[in-house]
Amino acid sequence: EVQLVESGGGLVQPGGSLRLSCAASGFTFSSYWMHWVRQAPGKGLVWVSRINSDGSSTSYADSVKGRFTISRDNAKNTLYLQMNSLRAEDTAVYYCARSGGYGYFDLWGRGTLVTVSS
Amino acid sequence: AIRMTQSPSSFSASTGDRVTITCRASQGISSYLAWYQQKPGKAPKLLIYAASTLQSGVPSRFSGSGSGTDFTLTISCLQSEDFATYYCQQYYSYPPAFGGGTKVEIK
């Protein structure tokens, strides 16, 4: 089955760190660009970051630049998001998503909830 | 950065209705526009890309049109499973940007 499964979310204090993972299966992971998209409670979708197929190029939203790092391990079919210096406004469901080289997202995971609170 | 504006933000409709949702880009994006459907507690689902190309498996009652700055998503005959929130997204340039969403509720 073609799927993405996120993990690693949870409750963290402001200023803390968390690493999200996204396990891919059922397709050739190393052929696709991958992204993280987040959704604050009751709000809309916001793109966070992307990485190209071999991991040599990354891009970030201004709101997370310098604090978040996207990476991937194609041998393990896994995407990561290292989140440092977390803020209350980072509270959201984080989705990993696949794009086929254009920029629309044709496969999404179920998401993992990150809550930043003291 | 390109901003995407959807209208309306929400509305009520009945099963069988023809509904249209509008998305406007702050600058021209050619046809680099996608539409997604999201149900509560679920991940978004791709419906349409390249403004008018139906994703595999999506019912033909969904259609998209437009280019440049103005786009529409039309559901020709609303079904019970179509009550959801719909988002447009531009992928013409980075950062990719979503509209604020349109919630379609049952009348």
Average pLDDT, chain B: 97
Q: Is any Cβ of chain A less than 8 angstroms from the Cβ of B36?
A: yes
The average pLDDT across A5-14 equals 98
pLDDT at B103 over 90: yes
Torsion sign over Cα A109, B71, A60, B84: negative
What is the distance in angstroms between the Cα of A35 and the nearest Cα belonging to chain B? 10
- DSSP states along B33-66: EEEEEE-TTS--EEEEETTTEEPTT--TTEEEEE
Q: By the 8 A CB rule, do B98 and B89 touch?
A: yes
Q: By the 8 A CB rule, do A82 and A97 touch?
A: no
Cβ neighbors of A44 (< 8 A, separation 6 or more) are B87, B98, B99, B100, B101
Q: Which token pair is B38?
A: 């999201």
Residue in B with minimal Cα distance to A112: B43
Chain segment A55-71, per-residue pLDDT in tens: 999 999 999 999 999 99
Do the chains contact at A44 and B87, CB–CB below 8 Å?
Answer: yes
What's the rounded Cα separation, in Å, for the pair A47 and B5? 16
What is the percentage of chain A residues whose pLDDT exceeds 70?
99
Q: Is any Cβ of chain A less than 8 angstroms from the Cβ of B42?
A: yes
Q: A68 or B106, which is more confident?
A: A68
pLDDT at A100 over 80: no
Residues in chain A with CB shorter than 8 Å from the CB of B94 are: 59, 103
Do the chains contact at A44 and B91, CB–CB below 8 Å?
Answer: no
Note the Cα A84 to chain centre separation in Å. 13
pLDDT at A102 over 90: no
Note the Cα A91 to chain centre separation in Å. 13
The average pLDDT across A1-13 equals 98
Average pLDDT, chain A: 97
Cβ neighbors of A65 (< 8 A, separation 6 or more) are none
Q: Is any Cβ of chain B less than 8 angstroms from the Cβ of A105?
A: yes
Q: Is B46 exposed, middle or buried (0-12, 13-18, 19+ CB in 10 A)?
A: buried
Q: Which token pair is A107?
A: 């496969």
Residues in chain B with CB shorter than 8 Å from the CB of A106 are: 46, 49, 55
Beta bridge partners of A32: none
What is the percentage of chain B residues whose pLDDT exceeds 70?
100
The closest CB to that of A46, out of B34, B49, B98, belongs to B98
pLDDT at A101 over 70: no
Residues in chain A with CB shorter than 8 Å from the CB of B99 are: 44
Q: What's the start-to-end Cα distance of chain A, in Å? A: 39
Based on its alpha-carbon atoms, the radius of gyration of chain A, rounded to whole angstroms, reads 13
Nearest to B52, CA basis, from B64, B43, B35: B64
